[in-house]
Amino acid sequence: MFIDLPSGLGAALTDLTLPHWKLDGPALATSTMEEYRTELTASPQFAETAATLRRALTGEGGGFAVLRLGKLAQALGADDDRFLRLATAFAAEVAIPFSPFPRWPLWKDIGVKVDNDPGKSSGIGYNAFHMDLVNATLPPDYTTLLCIRPDPLGGGPSILSDAHAAVARLSEAHRALLAESGYHYGTFYDLHGVGEEYKPFPILDGSAPGEGFVRFTAKMLKRSELGQEHAEAARALARELVQGQVSFMLQTGDYLIVNQRRFLHGREALHSGQENVPAADRRLLLQLFLRTPSGTGPAA
C-alpha cells in the first residue's frame, strides 16, 4: 500500500521541529517516543494516517507499506535532521526503532559501492529475496528503508513477495523439509538486541500456517553448504517468491516499511554505468529496524 500524507498534515509537519532523539541501549528511548507522539498527535489527521499505516502492515492481506514523505523531503531537505526525526516518529507509531549494530547510529546508510559484492545491499547487482538478520534468534519484526536518493540512472526497483503465500504454493514434501533445522547462512558478530546466533535454523518456524517468520535468504543457495534435499526445497521457495513478487521504484522521501513476519524483500540490479556516477550522487537509502514489544524468539 502506498500512503500519501493528507495536505493539512504535510503542511503542519513542515513547520514542526521535533527534538533530537535519545537512545536506551540500542533502542529509541521511551521518553522520546512519547514526546514525538505528543507532538505529532496535535497535527491534523496524524492519528488517522498512523492507523492506516499500521493496518497496511498488520491487517488482513497486508505486510508492507510505502509512506510517501516526498513533499516533506522536498520542503526540509531529504538529508536534514528535521526530516529524519519525522520519519523516526512515524516508525515509532509502528514499533520500537532500534539499531542492532553498535558501530552504526540509529539509521544505517546503504549507499552504492561499485567494488562491493554485487549481490549485497550496497552492491550494484540483483539483491535476491531475504529477511534481514535471518540467523538471529530475535530478528527485527520490521525492516524499513528511507529513500534519500534513487538511482539517478533509473535502476534498482524494490521487490517484495508474500512469504506465506509462496510457502502455501509448495508441495507438502518441500514444506516438511523447510521446517527442518537444515539451514544456515552468514556470520554473526558485533550485534546487540537480536538475541544469539541461530545455526542451524528451520526456514519455517513451526507457527500456524500464515504466521511466524519465514527465515529465508536466497543467498544461502550460493553461499552455504546445504544438503541436496534441503537446497532443492529452498530453491522451490525462491522460485515461488519470484513468481509472486511485486516491484516498484522508491523515490526521494519514500519510506518503505516491511513486516518481516509476512513479506521478504530485495532489489533489482541498479542501472549499468554506476562507475560513472559520482559517489555523492549515487542511490542512497537509510535503514532502520523495528521491534514489537512482544517480540519473541524461535519456536521450541
What gap in Å lies between CA 185 and CA 227, rounded to an integer?
13
Amino acid at 45: Q
The Cα-based distances of 74 to 14, 79, 149, 223, 251 in angstroms read 10, 10, 12, 41, 11
> What's the pLDDT at 295?
55
Query: In the chain, what percentage of residues exceed pLDDT 70?
Result: 98
Peptide bond into 200 cis (omega under 30): yes
Fold of 2-291: Double-stranded beta-helix (3.60.130)
Q: Please, what is the average pLDDT of the chain?
A: 95
Asked whether residue 298 carries a pLDDT value surpassing 50, the answer given is no
Instruction: List phi, psi (to 5°) of 276.
Output: -95, -5
Q: How would you label 111-121 residue by residue, b for 16+ Cβ within 10 Å and e otherwise?
A: bbebeeeebeb
Q: What does the CA dihedral 247, 89, 75, 14 come to, rounded to 10 degrees?
A: 140
**pLDDT value at 282 more than 50:** yes
* Domain ranges within the chain, ordered by starting residue: 2-291
How is residue 157 annotated by DSSP?
Answer: -
- pLDDT tens digit sequence for 82-98: 999 999 999 999 999 99
Grid cell of 68 as nine digits: 510517501
